[in-house]
Amino acid sequence: MLLEARGITKSFAGVRALDGVDFDVRPGEVHVLLGENGAGKSTLVKVLAGVHSPDDGRVERAPGTRLAVIHQELALVPNLSVAENLFLGRPPRRFGFVDKARMRHDAQRLLDRVGLRLDPATPVGGLGIAQQQMVEIARALDLDAQVLVLDEPTAVLTDTETDRLLEIMAELRDRGVGLVFITHHLDEIRRIADRITVLRDGRSVGVLPRGASVDRMIELMVGRAIAERYPRRRGTPGEVLFEVEGLTRAGAFQDVSFRVRAGEVVGIAGLVGAGRTEVVRAAFGVDRYDAGRVKVAGRVLPGHDVRAAMRAGLGLVPEDRKAQGLVLTSTVGDNLGLVTLRSTARAGLVDRVGQRTRAREVADALRVKTSGLGQSVRELSGGNQQKVVIGKWLLADPRVLVLDEPTRGVDVGAKVEIYELVNRMTAAGRAVVLVSSDLPEVIGMSDRIVVMAQGRVAGELPAGTTQDRVMALAVQEFPA
């Protein structure tokens, strides 16, 4: 045994995050830690790593065992280069000075190992989240630890990056490293897990062997069986509520057009980099576009004007929710109320009581794990922070809601709750745009799917299409 934790108990200000948890890591295994958002996974990782000391219980390590952790919250320094981040606090030295040439060379070798094509001199702040995550992974690999803990690394990775990471993990396992892996992607667990410990509400509720069925994992994790993973309820579409016509920005997207009717969910699929996020950000007015127009309920929006877009009834749950969607220093209740609520504003006054009641309803519906609306958002687990951002937009109840990767990093149970809220919106005559890299999700929850490739619309597919058909369009190449 490389690492053994017994009876770990840990509370934060009255919230019991862990309650008598046993957990161990053997050499040469991938031990998956599975549980809903807020189940206590990250807290257990922090106890194993010595970041938190437990209130009760103990952690024992074989002598000389080094542990490397990739935490859920990325810990890179944005204004330093990739190479400087990789060797932060321990740069290669020569005659007492930092050996820049060697640092560059070693950095390149590490980047190659994780399959990241990047100049080591690039500042980290300019990278996307997936690239930053791969830099963290490269850094952890260089520590050459016997125990490597990865807390939801694949939540922000593309399929290709995930494949590379799983290969690296398998190589490390074969060399005797013990890995602890946290993920909400049950298919990844099926591919790589040797053992699965399931946490629910801070307790270990079971250990499953390799090959355990997805149904069994879900049942243990949420404490109930989930009948339908994609419970889309379709209605008859009404009038066109959202129109994007010939939207173009040089170098980003060209001539993108699609329409969404009242009561419809239109999915936007495509590979990462296909321009999906760029298009929806431009349509919402966050970024500029050079040509084309955007209409909400028949009215043309002025470009590059988020307030006007919101007044017209357009909402966007952004992809990078930490940076764009939340005020971490505020409470759950305040964050839920951040978008002005037309329906609760009476005679120009905000109806605080009505607002709190509805905030409570949404927090309950999404099963946000919190000690109350007064709790600071910073203290919530990552997945629960995401639920708050989505909840805030659902509360604002816009006519057209664009969701960019709404379930990334969210557990299976909460995903279904989010889908049910989407159903409720469309049943009430709202229009929803669902940008998603999760193919089963975009196929299962959309009434039509627009597939983008290289900044253009490559084609449109009906509900119930296959993953192969989506991929065939997504990899389409356009002449330059």
Residues that bind ligand ADP (CB under 6 A): 12-13, 15, 17, 35, 37-43, 369, 379-381, 383
In the list ligand ADP, Mg ion, none, the entry touching 379 (Cβ below 5 to 8 angstroms by class) is ligand ADP
Torsion of CA 122, 125, 129, 134, to 10 degrees: 40
- Give me 463's structure tokens: 């509900």
> Smaller CB distance to ligand ADP: residue 344 or 386?
386
Torsion of CA 224, 229, 231, 237, to 10 degrees: 160
> Smaller CB distance to ligand ADP: residue 245 or 379?
379
In the list ligand ADP, Mg ion, none, the entry touching 380 (Cβ below 5 to 8 angstroms by class) is ligand ADP
In the list ligand ADP, Mg ion, none, the entry touching 40 (Cβ below 5 to 8 angstroms by class) is ligand ADP
Side chain identity at residue 449, one-letter code: I
- Residue closest to Mg ion (Cβ): 42
> Smaller CB distance to ligand ADP: residue 22 or 144?
22
In the list ligand ADP, Mg ion, none, the entry touching 225 (Cβ below 5 to 8 angstroms by class) is none
> Smaller CB distance to Mg ion: residue 47 or 401?
47
Q: How far is the CB of 69 from ligand ADP (least distance, A)?
A: 13
What SS3 string covers 359-417?
HHHHHHHCCCCCCCCCCEHHHCCHHHHHHHHHHHHHHHCCCEEEEECCCCCCCHHHHHH
* CA-wise closest residue to 173 among 191, 197, 160, 155: 191
Number of helical (H) and strand (E) elements in the chain, helices listed first: 16, 23
Q: How far is the CB of 72 from Mg ion (least distance, A)?
A: 5
Which DSSP helix (H) or strand (E) runs through 266? strand 265-270
Q: How far is the CB of 382 from Mg ion (least distance, A)?
A: 5
3-state secondary structure of 100: helix
Side chain identity at residue 171, one-letter code: E
User: Which residues contribute to the site for Mg ion (CB under 5 A)?
Assistant: 41-42, 72, 381
Q: How far is the CB of 154 from Mg ion (least distance, A)?
A: 13
In the list ligand ADP, Mg ion, none, the entry touching 101 (Cβ below 5 to 8 angstroms by class) is none
Side chain identity at residue 245, one-letter code: E
> Smaller CB distance to ligand ADP: residue 155 or 402?
155
Q: How far is the CB of 282 from ligand ADP (least distance, A)?
A: 33
Q: How far is the CB of 111 from Mg ion (least distance, A)?
A: 27
> Smaller CB distance to ligand ADP: residue 197 or 426?
197
Please answer whether residues 432 and 260 qualify as being in contact, where contact means their C-beta atoms are separated by less than 8 angstroms: yes
> Smaller CB distance to ligand ADP: residue 152 or 264?
152
Q: How far is the CB of 201 from ligand ADP (least distance, A)?
A: 9
3-state secondary structure of 21: strand
Q: How far is the CB of 48 from ligand ADP (least distance, A)?
A: 12
| Bridge partners for 16 per DSSP | 11
> Smaller CB distance to ligand ADP: residue 71 or 424?
71
- Rounded CA gap, 194 and 166, in Å? 13
> What is the DSSP-derived secondary structure letter of residue 302?
P
Q: How far is the CB of 123 from ligand ADP (least distance, A)?
A: 29
Please answer whether residues 20 and 9 qualify as being in contact, where contact means their C-beta atoms are separated by less than 8 angstroms: yes
As to burial, measured by CB atoms within 10 angstroms (0-12 exposed, 13-18 middle, 19+ buried), residue 201 is middle
How far CA 456 is from CA of 42, 105, 270, 459, in Å, comes to 39, 38, 10, 9
Q: How far is the CB of 240 from Mg ion (least distance, A)?
A: 41
Does residue 7 come out as left (phi exceeding 0), alpha (psi in the -120 to 50 range) or beta?
left
What is the CA 416 to chain-centroid distance, rounded?
Answer: 15
Q: How far is the CB of 383 from ligand ADP (least distance, A)?
A: 5
> Smaller CB distance to ligand ADP: residue 208 or 402?
208
> Smaller CB distance to ligand ADP: residue 48 or 111?
48
> Smaller CB distance to Mg ion: residue 43 or 355?
43
As to burial, measured by CB atoms within 10 angstroms (0-12 exposed, 13-18 middle, 19+ buried), residue 471 is middle
- Rounded CA gap, 457 and 274, in Å? 9
